[in-house]
Chains A and B, each alone.
Chain A
Amino acid sequence: DTEVTQTPKHLVMGMTNKKSLKCEQHMGHRAMYWYKQKAKKPPELMFVYSYEKLSINESVPSRFSPECPNSSLLNLHLHALQPEDSALYLCASSHPAREGGNEQFFGPGTRLTVL
């Protein structure tokens, strides 16, 4: 199985809602990532988990809260978001053993709209 799955595909939420994005992979990858992508822009790294521990947090606002319950799952908890947080949220995974030379496998993304 060489696939990263993300749910839901689309999410519309109000600024007071709490929701979660989910990501799953079964490739045995021990590095997992969250990216945010705005239209016509490249992906921006948000968080990196390595062996289920948060290793990189790119100064992301606390209204985004990542969680890695096990080596196959990655969640992104959302609370009190702003309309400017509307974007495509991408999850990716990679083999951490190949430091730097690790192609990332991306999921299809969750299209988030904050009203």
Chain B
Amino acid sequence: SQKIEQNSEALNIQEGKTATLTCNYTNYSPAYLQWYRQDPGRGPVFLLLIRENEKEKRKERLKVTFDTTLKQSLFHITASQPADSATYLCVRSGSARQLTFGSGTQLTVLP
């Protein structure tokens, strides 16, 4: 089966620093990797999508990379703020219009 693993359950960083979250996948590369943010008791919110043939994608303070050799995606938040505190979900998607979610990393940005 295709697995998605997010290495850290929880990550604490100081405000202003860059947060780096890791997502590893098994077996074949997914066509797409997506990152979502989820706040407690709320639905996930889409942040970024990166295709298998893309190395890097950016959106404002967010950056995601896709390394098919390492079978890994890194998600960076630069100049982190306490408002960035949330659970971040890595998701692989391909055909059949379904997503496979990683278990998530709970990020806490300390003021």
Q: Given A48-B97, A55-B97, A96-B97, are A101 and B89 neighbors across the interface (CB < 8 Å)?
A: no
Tell me whether B98 and A41 are in contact (CB under 8 A). Answer: no
Tell me whether A100 and B31 are in contact (CB under 8 A). Answer: yes
Q: Which of A43, A96, A103 contacts B49 (CB 8 A)?
A: A103
- The docked-state distance in angstroms from the alpha carbon of A1 to that of B19 is 32
- The docked-state distance in angstroms from the alpha carbon of A69 to that of B43 is 23
Contacts of A88 in B (CB 8 A): 41
Tell me whether A109 and B89 are in contact (CB under 8 A). Answer: no
B interface footprint on A87-115 (CB within 8 Å = 1, 0 otherwise): 01010101010011111111111010000
Chain B 42-70 residues near chain A, CB threshold 8 A: 42-46, 49, 51
Q: Given A43-B44, A107-B43, A111-B41, are A31 and B97 neighbors across the interface (CB < 8 Å)?
A: yes
- The docked-state distance in angstroms from the alpha carbon of A43 to that of B43 is 9
Q: Between A and B, how many residue pairs show CB distances below 8 Å?
A: 61
- When C-beta atoms are compared, the residue in chain A nearest to B51 turns out to be A101
* Top 8 A-B pairs, shortest CB-CB distance: A106-B43, A42-B101, A103-B46, A100-B94, A100-B31, A101-B32, A100-B93, A106-B44
30 A-B pairs with C-beta separation under 8 A? A41-B103, A42-B101, A42-B103, A42-B104, A43-B44, A45-B99, A48-B96, A48-B97, A48-B98, A50-B97, A55-B97, A56-B96, A56-B97, A88-B41, A90-B44, A92-B43, A99-B97, A100-B31, A100-B93, A100-B97, A101-B49, A103-B46, A103-B49, A105-B46, A106-B44, A106-B45, A108-B42, A108-B43, A109-B42, A109-B43
B contact set with A: CB distance below 8 Å:
31-32, 34, 41-46, 49, 51, 89, 93-99, 101-104
